[in-house]
């Protein structure tokens, strides 16, 4: 991935000086100058993570690595992501690439775009390049309408792979997922504790496993909170669920329909959808969170700085990425990993987009 680094005054001075200064590198890496010297001279006795911090400091400060520190790649690893417009996918890609680099592997990022190469075509290209393994993030394995045969064929060809987000019982491979049921429950319980009773869900199509799981967790949480006989929907005990695209526009459309049905709390399947829900509320002259509370899902990097700062359920991105890479490398090294789903617990992060439900008297 190509990123932009904003240099601190120290970094700018170091970059302008042309040659590495031990003091600058040590300050950036938060290690001693002696440790920096050992790394730069290729001496033993430095922990792998400390060595990585020194090399990262060299990169941030704009220095070229000495020739002796330029490691030969251990191999190529393909990373397939569905898109980069949703900030959660670059967040995953960045951590996965960092972990792979720490093990000496070179990541090859493949992104699907409308009208571009399909997942199957990208896999063919990666195989042609001789990749050692592939990480699939929210790929066709998460789509219940897509056949699992493509992954069977990949396994038959001896290509190790790991799948993130979207368990499929018909695919024999290591899976890494957040607990989508728990995520929806956390969001609903938070809104119920704030006094909301008319709560809706804006989520993606049923064909996607994460969408289906969140909808199941949402319905279960409502039953736990209000009982099975409570009229949760406009015509009976069915939950208020609107299925749409995982985008700002999709969230905007779904939230509009939920607001028309009297919802005061809206749970969204992604942060982008939640931002669309906030926009829909404001277009109706409603205040978030005074009139409507909105909860997102993901907690990508900039979400804390939205207006209002978004309450969301955080995906454990780093833990999931580290686990996925670890499983893949074990497979590559001939140590088969258990063919099961490794599930990670999300975390509710309460910010400014949720508040107490307005009572019939018009006060909080």
**End-to-end distance of the chain based on CA atoms, in angstroms?**
47
Q: What is the mean pLDDT of residues 155-163?
A: 96
- For 325, other C-beta atoms within 10 Å of its C-beta total 26
Higher pLDDT, 363 or 158: 158
Average pLDDT (114-123) is: 90
pLDDT digits (tens, 9 = 90+) for 194-235: 999 999 999 999 999 999 999 999 999 999 998 865 545 444
Q: Mean of the per-residue pLDDT values for the chain?
A: 87
188: pLDDT strictly greater than 80: yes
Give the residue-averaged pLDDT of 99-128. Answer: 91
Write out the two tokens for 235: 């015509």
Residue range 253-274, pLDDT digits in tens: 999 999 999 999 999 999 999 9
CB half-sphere exposure, 323, CA atoms < 13 A:
19
Residue 308 has what pLDDT? 95
Residue 180, pLDDT above cutoff 50: yes
- Dig out the tokens for 64 from the structure: 């070229």
Q: What predicted TM-score, i.e. pTM, was given to this entire model?
A: 0.81
Q: Where are the beta strands (DSSP E) in 173-299?
A: 175-178, 199-203, 240-243, 265-268, 293-298
Report pLDDT for 54: 85
Domains of the chain: 11-69 (1.10.260.40), 75-178+316-344 (3.40.50.2300), 180-315 (3.40.50.2300)
Instruction: Compute the C-alpha angle 87/285/274, nearest 5°.
Output: 20
Nearest CA to 352 out of 310, 295, 306, 314 is that of 310
Cis peptide before 308 (omega within 30 of 0): yes
Selection from 309, 310, 316 nearest residue 295 by Cα? 310
Query: Which residue has 């399909």 as its token pair?
Result: 118
Lowest-confidence segment of 18-32, 59-73, 172-186, 275-289 by average pLDDT: 59-73
Residue 40 has a pLDDT of 83
Give, in order, the Cα–Cα distances in Å from 286 to each of 201, 247, 263.
18, 21, 12
Rounded Cα gap, residues 303 and 329, in angstroms: 32
CA torsion, points 217, 218, 221, 227, in degrees to nearest 10? -120
Q: What value does the mean pLDDT take over residues 180-187?
A: 97
Task: Reply yes or no on whether the pLDDT at 163 is more than 90.
Answer: yes
152-161, 283-292, 332-341: least confidently modelled range: 332-341
Determine if residue 79 is left, alpha or beta; phi over 0 gives left, psi from -120 to 50 gives alpha, anything else beta. beta
Q: Are 125 and 347 in contact (CB under 8 A)?
A: no
pLDDT computed for residue 115 by the predictor: 81
Q: What is the pLDDT of residue 68?
A: 66
Which stretches within 30-175 are classed as H helix?
33-40, 48-60, 88-102, 119-128, 149-156
């Amino acid at each position: 991935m190509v990123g932009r680094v904003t240099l601190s005054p120290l970094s700018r001075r170091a970059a302008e000086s042309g040659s590495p200064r031990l003091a600058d590198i040590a300050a950036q890496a938060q290690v001693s100058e002696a440790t920096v010297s050992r790394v730069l001279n290729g001496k033993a006795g430095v922990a792998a993570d400390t060595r990585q911090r020194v090399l990262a400091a060299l990169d941030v400060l704009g220095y070229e690595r000495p020739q002796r520190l330029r490691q030969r790649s251990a191999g190529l690893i393909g990373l397939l992501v569905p898109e980069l417009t949703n900030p959660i996918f670059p967040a995953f890609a960045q951590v996965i690439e960092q972990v792979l680099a720490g093990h000496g592997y070179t990541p090859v990022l493949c992104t699907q775009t409308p009208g571009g190469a399909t997942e199957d075509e990208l896999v063919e290209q990666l195989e042609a390049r001789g990749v050692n393994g592939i990480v699939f993030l929210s790929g066709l394995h998460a789509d219940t309408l897509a056949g699992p045969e493509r992954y069977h064929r990949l396994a038959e060809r001896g290509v190790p792979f790991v799948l993130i987000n979207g368990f499929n019982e018909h695919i024999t491979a290591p899976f890494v997922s957040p607990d989508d049921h728990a995520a929806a429950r956390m969001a609903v319980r938070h809104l119920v504790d704030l006094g909301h009773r008319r709560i809706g869900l804006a989520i993606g199509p049923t064909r996607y496993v994460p969408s289906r799981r969140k909808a199941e967790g949402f319905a279960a949480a409502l039953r736990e909170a209000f009982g099975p006989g409570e009229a949760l929907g406009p015509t009976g005990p069915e939950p208020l669920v609107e299925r749409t695209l995982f985008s700002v526009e999709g969230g905007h459309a779904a939230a509009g329909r939920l607001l028309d049905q009297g919802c005061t709390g809206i749970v969204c399947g992604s942060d982008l959808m939640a931002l669309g829900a906030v926009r829909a509320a404001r277009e109706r002259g409603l205040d978030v969170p005074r009139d409507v509370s909105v909860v997102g899902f993901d907690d990508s990097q900039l979400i804390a700085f939205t207006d209002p700062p978004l309450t969301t359920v955080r995906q454990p991105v780093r833990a999931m990425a580290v686990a996925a890479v670890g499983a893949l490398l074990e497979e590559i090294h001939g140590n088969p990993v258990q063919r099961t789903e490794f599930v990670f617990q999300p975390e509710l992060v309460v910010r400014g987009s949720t508040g107490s439900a307005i009572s019939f008297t018009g006060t909080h």
